[in-house]
Amino acid sequence: MADADLVTIRRALISVSDKTGLVELGQFLAGHGVEILSTGGSAKALAAAGVPVKEVADHTGFPEIMDGRVKTLHPTIHGGLLARRDLPEHVQAMNANGIAPIDLLVVNLYPFEATVAKGADFDEAIENIDIGGPAMIRAAAKNHGFVAVVVDPADYAPLKQEMAENKGAVSLALRKKLAAAAYARTGAYDAAISTWFAGQLGDTFPRRIAIGGELKQVLRYGENPHQQAAFYTGGAPRIGIATATQLQGKELSFNNLNDTDAAFELVSEFTEPAVAIIKHANPCGVAQGKDVAEAYARALRCDPVSAFGGIIAVNRTLDAATTEQISRILTEVIIAPDADDEAKELLAKKKNLRLLLTGGMPDPHAGGMTLRSLAGGYLLQTRDNGHVTASDLKVVTKRQPTEKEIADLLFAFTVCKHVKSNAIVYVKDGATVGIGAGQMSRVDSSRIAARKSQDAAEAAGETEPLTRGSVVASDAFFPFADGLLAAIEAGATAVIHPGGSMRDNEVIAAADESGIAMVFTGMRHFRH
């Protein structure tokens, strides 16, 4: 293709759903002598602003039909977009069929994603699948050698800048950049439609999957400085890191985003005021309380050393009393559904601390999908939204757990769900008092959690480890009695775990011999 370096924009077709900046763009183009073709609401908005505009139907000589389903799907339009100006046979075909070249296409699509997000029914969603828009976008992008295509109001500025600098012309470099953005947009659009349609059919794992996302933030680097990274939003809407507004602090890092997401998902599990303190995507303290301030103090007590430089998530409006406590140690990020004015004022003094407000809490029981990349492919699975209640528990020991122990057991098992395997969590009075994470051996996780509890007790001036009189949770079954015995040695009085090991009887016998209560959940929460 003999691409022209500069293409003068003489004729433009504008048809946009998002009319941000539309009038200003129209006025700019008209000021450069560009003939504007348009249709529907776009044409009306331009005309109302005094911008000369020609209806597409008048241009094609063919009326809009089928409730507007067929208006731009016409050879006059697609010939004008697809014709190569450097090929005599294309030019001859244009002349023979009365096809005028279109040098600029400005189209953004029916709001399918927004329509689905608001809970539209099947028929409404189908009607919001754009046909003519993607067809024109793909045509113009393919013929970028001679046509500029704009699919996002954010690209109006560079378009206008180049036209202003080049006497109404646009460079090949910009046209290529715009074409790439155009294909990315139609790709993401099709991904949203195909994902939604598969869901409508109950097809959890369709033959092909398409993943779409929109760049929200280019990050300084990834997990390490030698890695590049960015944050994209996409998929099913969910309250959390993607909906959050950052009120203050420096730019979030890759690790900040990952850890903050983990913290907020964890704290959303609880209906009572709760706080989760996260370090490297693992909780180092989680607690409930009569209010957020009490919950924070109890969460911090679990592991005050690891909490330094951590992420704090709360499931209530952040208040001044809690903020005063948080301000005493280095904290990277605070995420909350909201914050009162006093809290905001106090945090404003901490210039580097990031405050994120989400406007609500995610539903921990909602379905959804998670995606992880592998070499040459992806792992796709449903979200771990499993949970157990007191009625789901199976008591397998001679001793029955008390009501207080059951409450703590359920709390511990819920926290366990958010701890990297192998996970052991000690809980007492609705607060974690020891957490062991990510060990290759479950007995090591038990010992680490107990050791952390002992260290925390010493820091708090206690005479014995906080695990004395606690309950303990394991994310998967104890394959041997040794992990359980380590927990008993730490002072646990009751145990919760999935059960299902060939050595369950051995583990149950060890529990009975020690006089502790044990319950099975029948549900595992591996987190790798």
- Final residue of a domain: which of 316, 342, 357? 357
The token pair that represents 468 in the structure block: 């004395």
**Do residue 174 and residue 310 come from a single domain?**
no
Residues 6+ apart with CB under 8 A from 442: 422, 424, 474, 476, 478, 479, 483
Domain assignment present for residue 375? The answer is: no
Domain assignment present for residue 371? The answer is: no
Number of Cβ within 10 Å of residue 387's Cβ equals: 16
Which one from 280, 344, 350, 387 is the annotated catalytic residue? 280
The token pair that represents 334 in the structure block: 């605070």
Q: Do 347 and 325 touch, CB atoms closer than 8 A?
A: no
User: Model-level pTM greater than 0.95?
Assistant: no
Query: Collapsing DSSP states into helix, strand and coil, what is residue 184?
Result: helix
Q: Do 417 and 458 touch, CB atoms closer than 8 A?
A: no
Of 22, 12, 75, which is closest to residue 44 (Cα–Cα)? 22
What's the pLDDT score for residue 3? 64
Look at the alpha carbons of 191, 193, 199, 205 in this order and tell me if their dihedral is positive or negative: negative
Q: How far apart are CA 262 and CA 237, in angstroms?
A: 17
* Residue 280: active-site member: yes
Domain assignment present for residue 380? The answer is: no
Q: How far apart are CA 261 and CA 242, in angstroms?
A: 9
Calculate the dihedral angle through the C-alpha atoms of 314, 316, 320, 324, rounding to the nearest 10 degrees: -20
- Final residue of a domain: which of 200, 232, 261? 200
Q: Do 39 and 72 touch, CB atoms closer than 8 A?
A: yes
Query: Collapsing DSSP states into helix, strand and coil, what is residue 321?
Result: helix
Range of the domain at 323: 216-357
Q: How far is CA 182 from CA 19, 23, 105, 152, 212, in A?
A: 17, 21, 11, 9, 13
Of 485, 487, 434, 502, which is closest to residue 462 (Cα–Cα)? 434
Look at the alpha carbons of 342, 344, 347, 349 in this order and tell me if their dihedral is positive or negative: negative
Domain at 102, CATH number: 3.40.50.1380
Which one from 19, 90, 142, 344 is the annotated catalytic residue? 142
The token pair that represents 40 in the structure block: 């529907």
Domain assignment present for residue 381? The answer is: no
H or E element, residue 275: strand 274-279
Q: How far is CA 521 from CA 381, 388, 476, in A?
A: 21, 7, 10
What's the pLDDT score for residue 68? 66
* Residue 74: active-site member: no
How many structural domains compose the chain? 3
Query: Collapsing DSSP states into helix, strand and coil, what is residue 453?
Result: helix
Token match 């500025």: residue? 157
Token match 């933030």: residue? 217
H or E element, residue 247: strand 245-248
**Do residue 70 and residue 174 come from a single domain?**
yes
What's the pLDDT score for residue 2? 58
Domain assignment present for residue 289? The answer is: yes
H or E element, residue 115: helix 112-117
**Do residue 161 and residue 13 come from a single domain?**
yes
**Do residue 284 and residue 401 come from a single domain?**
no
Of 247, 511, 279, 320, which is closest to residue 418 (Cα–Cα)? 279
Of 252, 262, 305, which is closest to residue 420 (Cα–Cα)? 262
- Reported residue count of the chain is 528
Q: How far apart are CA 374 and CA 528, in angstroms?
A: 14
**Do residue 314 and residue 233 come from a single domain?**
yes
Domain at 328, CATH number: 3.40.140.20
Helix H, strand E, coil C: the string for 39-51 is CHHHHHHHHHCCC
**Do residue 230 and residue 193 come from a single domain?**
no
Domain assignment present for residue 286? The answer is: yes
**Do residue 186 and residue 265 come from a single domain?**
no
Of 273, 275, 293, which is closest to residue 285 (Cα–Cα)? 275
Q: Do 414 and 387 touch, CB atoms closer than 8 A?
A: yes
Q: How far is CA 243 from CA 205, 280, 308, 361, 436, in A?
A: 27, 22, 26, 10, 31
What's the pLDDT score for residue 414? 96
**Do residue 183 and residue 228 come from a single domain?**
no
Per-residue pLDDT of the chain (528 residues; tens, 9 = 90+): 456 689 899 999 999 988 999 999 999 999 999 999 988 889 899 999 999 998 877 787 777 777 767 777 788 888 889 888 887 888 888 888 888 899 999 999 888 888 888 888 998 889 888 888 899 999 999 999 999 999 999 999 999 999 999 999 999 999 999 999 999 999 999 999 999 999 899 999 998 888 888 899 999 999 999 999 999 998 788 999 999 999 998 899 999 999 999 999 999 999 999 999 999 999 999 999 999 999 999 999 999 999 999 999 999 999 999 999 998 899 999 999 999 999 999 999 888 899 999 999 999 999 889 999 999 999 999 999 999 999 999 999 999 999 999 999 999 999 999 999 899 999 999 999 999 998 888 888 888 888 888 888 888 788 888 889 999 999 998 888 888 888 888 889 999 999 988 889 999 999 999 999 999 999 999 998
**Do residue 240 and residue 168 come from a single domain?**
no
**Do residue 178 and residue 242 come from a single domain?**
no
Q: Do 469 and 490 touch, CB atoms closer than 8 A?
A: no
Domain assignment present for residue 383? The answer is: no
Q: Do 3 and 173 touch, CB atoms closer than 8 A?
A: no
Query: Which long-range CB contacts under 8 A does 227-234 form with residues at least 24 apart?
Result: 227/254, 229/254, 231/257, 234/188, 234/191
**Do residue 226 and residue 296 come from a single domain?**
yes
Domain assignment present for residue 373? The answer is: no
**Do residue 20 and residue 63 come from a single domain?**
yes
- Tell me the CB-side half-sphere exposure of residue 120, using CA atoms within 13 A: 17
Q: At what angle do helices 442-459 and 481-490 cross, to 10 degrees?
A: 10
Q: Do 8 and 103 touch, CB atoms closer than 8 A?
A: yes
Q: How far apart are CA 419 and CA 269, in angstroms?
A: 13
